[in-house]
Amino acid sequence: MENSSRTCEDVDLLNDPEASFQAADYAILGLMLALSGVIGIFFAWKDRKESSEVFMMGGGGVSPFPIAASLATTFFSAVTVLGVPAEVYIFGIMYFFFAISLFLASVLAAEIFGPLYRANGVTSTYEYLGKRFNNSVRYLALGIFYLQNIAYIGIVIYTPSLALETVTGLNRWAAVWLNGVVCIFYTSIGGLKAVVWTDTLQIICMISGFVTICADGLAEFGFADIWSNAVAENRLDFDWRADPRYRHSIWAIVFGGLFGTWGNLFVGSQSFTQRMLSARNEKEMKKAIYGGFIGILIILLLASFTGLVMLRFFACCDPLTAGWVSAKTQLAPYLAIQRFKALPGLASLIVVGAYGGTLSTVSSGINSMATCLVTDILIPNEAFFRLNNPSDKFYTIVTKVASVCFGLACLGMSYIAASAGEGLLQAALSLFGILGGPNMAVFFLGAMVPFAEPIGVFIADILGVGVAFWVYFGSKSYPAGNEFIGKLEMTTTSCGLNETEVVSEIVEEESIPGIANFYQISYNYVGTVGFITTFVLALIISGIIKLTGSRENQRPAAKSMVPWLPWSPTEDIEENTDLKEKSGERNGSFREEESKFDKF
């Protein structure tokens, strides 16, 4: 790899051991956290006399702009804020094309599932599954959601704190607790409105961090130099290969990204749908969803270009190989601290953006879990829990206490992540696709397949998750080689090391069973395998049940399915008798607000 045609940065200027967070940097980080808390206090005071529906759903009257900002920031955790630039720096630009699958997922949410949930007047997506199928399917999906959310949020809290400790000097556990306590505080007192408006603040922080690094790179080198360097380093190569083992081919990104990695976030995750359902009406909901995609696109574009700027600054010496940083997620904050050590406050912006991503993901997660506890567990089972006509205020208090408890559970998960080692960390992060793919299939079956039987969907969901786990653990036994992973060479000619560049690791070929080729499929397809397994098995089992007449033939209610499909039922029938919902019998203003919500 030749670098002689490109000037190299003075390595000493990018490896100053004295460079670190300064007082101004800490002040800006503290200001962002303080403002998040103030927003929570404001909405706690403003809505102190409002109903539980206002606390959980914003009263169905939140404007599109903060919802769009919240949807965008919910997608970007600190792991992605720090990870996307590093991904582009190490593997190339293909990650940016997840924008295609995210756009398709946004269309599904705006045009199909969002209107469907509104037509059914539900507060949670799992409430919809109860209406469409039965409580068994509902609680299986809800259990998967809780497992996925607590594990993922625990990792999201811990991983960036670990990554930033070495670079900034912030103690990892101080950062974990600071993030956790601030997030629990404003979420538990301010509810959904506090969450979406703090997300608006945090998306500004994210964009500011990326813009600062991008602007510095453009001022130092110019766009043409950054672009030509990326071309020379093969970071702009496009991958059309159809082999499913290639990690980030366009097919893995579009189809695997939609059905295996990110689609369920838009279609069936309460963290996302709760925000889009808080809009005043369907028109504003669609504005919020597409606005959220525009926000995601802007951040993806800035994060990807940040990776190319990093590549130009490190053109002759890779800090990761040189040992200046210990993890790829440290690269962006490391560059900021080295470049802006003479400009106090600027270095903190990328770190503040990362912490903002953490706050957004955690607050969205604990708020949605608390809402599901009330709407999916307590209200439908008041008799079981011996709740004698509880007041609306009771449910507001329960939601607030549940927010605190779920937040503490996620903090506890961060300690498990710290002691578990890297293998379990990767496994927990992979739960997003492993559990999300089959879960997404359940919602597709409910919305589009009138003959889908509850028992068939229930069994297929379990088997789909099992198959996805099987493929994942198989990939750990027979990992794909760099031929399919696509890690590119990194230059170290100016690092003062003995070697001049790092080449791909050469592994001696071993005899492996034929099934290993299947295990080596892109991680994006693992969830897709779960989606296909769940969908196909549910069709087969439901078809057998219909043909054998082993269960009473009952058509779903018309409003529980997508209305424009030619095979969708056109007349409502009495709801499934197995479902003992009380969503229409809720107490106080929560009932009244929900009835108004149904009118849109």
pLDDT tens for each residue of 546-579? 888 766 666 777 788 888 888 877 765 444 444 4
Give the pLDDT confidence score for residue 546 in this predicted structure: 86
Contacts of 323 (CB under 8 A, 6+ apart): none
Instruction: Specify whether the CB–CB gap between 336 and 244 falls below 8 A.
Output: no
Q: What is the 3-class SS of 213-228, one letter each residue?
A: HHHHHHHHHCHHHHHH
Cα separations in angstroms, 313 against 209, 214, 225, 299: 17, 11, 11, 21
Eight-state DSSP code of residue 345: T
Whether 587 has a pLDDT exceeding 70, the answer reads: no
Q: Decide: helix, strand or coil at residue 577.
A: coil
Q: Decide: helix, strand or coil at residue 62.
A: strand
Instruction: Specify whether the CB–CB gap between 334 and 243 falls below 8 A.
Output: no
Whether 593 has a pLDDT exceeding 60, the answer reads: no
Give the pLDDT confidence score for residue 3 in this predicted structure: 44
Q: Report the range out of 167-181, 329-343, 450-464, 578-592 with the highest average pLDDT.
A: 450-464
Token pair listed for 157: 């809290």
Q: Which tens digit of pLDDT belongs to each residue from 166-180?
A: 777 778 898 899 889
Token pair listed for 279: 């809009």
Characterise 64 by phi-psi region: left (phi > 0), alpha (psi -120 to 50), beta (else): alpha
Task: Give CA–CA dist 226/213, Å, rounded.
Answer: 13
Task: Give CA–CA dist 438/143, Å, rounded.
Answer: 13
Cα separations in angstroms, 259 against 140, 155, 437: 19, 23, 6
Task: Give CA–CA dist 256/267, Å, rounded.
Answer: 15
Task: Give CA–CA dist 58/399, Å, rounded.
Answer: 13
Looking up tokens 């299947």, which residue turns up?
Answer: 518
Across 520-544, average pLDDT: 94
Phi, psi for residue 215 in degrees, rounded to 5? -65, -40
Across 61-65, 481-485, 508-512, least confident range: 508-512
Sign of the Cα torsion 499, 502, 504, 508 reads positive
Instruction: Specify whether the CB–CB gap between 536 and 457 falls below 8 A.
Output: no
Whether 309 has a pLDDT exceeding 80, the answer reads: yes
Whether 401 has a pLDDT exceeding 80, the answer reads: yes
Q: pTM of the entire structure? A: 0.87
Q: Which tens digit of pLDDT belongs to each residue from 11-25?
A: 656 777 777 788 888
Confidence band of 102 (pLDDT split at 50, 70, 90): very high
Give the pLDDT confidence score for residue 484 in this predicted structure: 75
β 501-502/490-491 pair status: antiparallel
Token pair listed for 139: 């609680």
- All structural domains of the chain: 17-504+513-598 (1.20.1730.10)
Instruction: Specify whether the CB–CB gap between 284 and 277 falls below 8 A.
Output: no
Better-scored residue on pLDDT, 290 or 511: 290
Instruction: Specify whether the CB–CB gap between 589 and 396 falls below 8 A.
Output: no
Across 179-193, 392-406, 455-469, 586-600, least confident range: 586-600
Looking up tokens 């149904």, which residue turns up?
Answer: 598
Give the pLDDT confidence score for residue 120 in this predicted structure: 92
Across 143-147, 288-292, 437-441, 595-599, least confident range: 595-599
State the maximum Cα–Cα separation within the chain, in Å, rounded to a whole number. 78
Alpha helix positions (H), 421-557: 422-448, 454-477, 482-485, 515-519, 523-548
Radius of gyration (C-alpha) of the chain in whole angstroms: 25
Give the pLDDT confidence score for residue 348 in this predicted structure: 87
Task: Give CA–CA dist 451/387, Å, rounded.
Answer: 36
Tell me the percentage of the chain whose pLDDT exceeds 70.
87
Confidence band of 34 (pLDDT split at 50, 70, 90): very high
Instruction: Specify whether the CB–CB gap between 274 and 289 falls below 8 A.
Output: no
Cα separations in angstroms, 332 against 78, 153, 168, 210: 12, 22, 12, 9
Q: Decide: helix, strand or coil at residue 411.
A: helix
Other beta carbons less than 10 A from residue 568's beta carbon: 18
Other beta carbons less than 10 A from residue 7's beta carbon: 12
How much is the mean pLDDT over the chain? 84
Q: Which tens digit of pLDDT belongs to each residue from 358-373?
A: 888 899 999 999 999 9
Whether 490 has a pLDDT exceeding 90, the answer reads: no
Phi, psi for residue 62 in degrees, rounded to 5? -85, 135
Looking up tokens 């089959």, which residue turns up?
Answer: 438
Give the pLDDT confidence score for residue 261 in this predicted structure: 81
Eight-state DSSP code of residue 567: T
36 class by beta-carbon count within 10 Å (0-12 exposed, 13-18 middle, 19+ buried): buried
Task: Give CA–CA dist 114/279, Å, rounded.
Answer: 11
Instruction: Specify whether the CB–CB gap between 534 and 547 falls below 8 A.
Output: no
Sign of the Cα torsion 132, 135, 141, 146 reads positive
Contacts of 71 (CB under 8 A, 6+ apart): 272, 275, 276, 288, 289, 291, 292, 295, 296
Token pair listed for 501: 């560049």
Contacts of 221 (CB under 8 A, 6+ apart): 229, 312
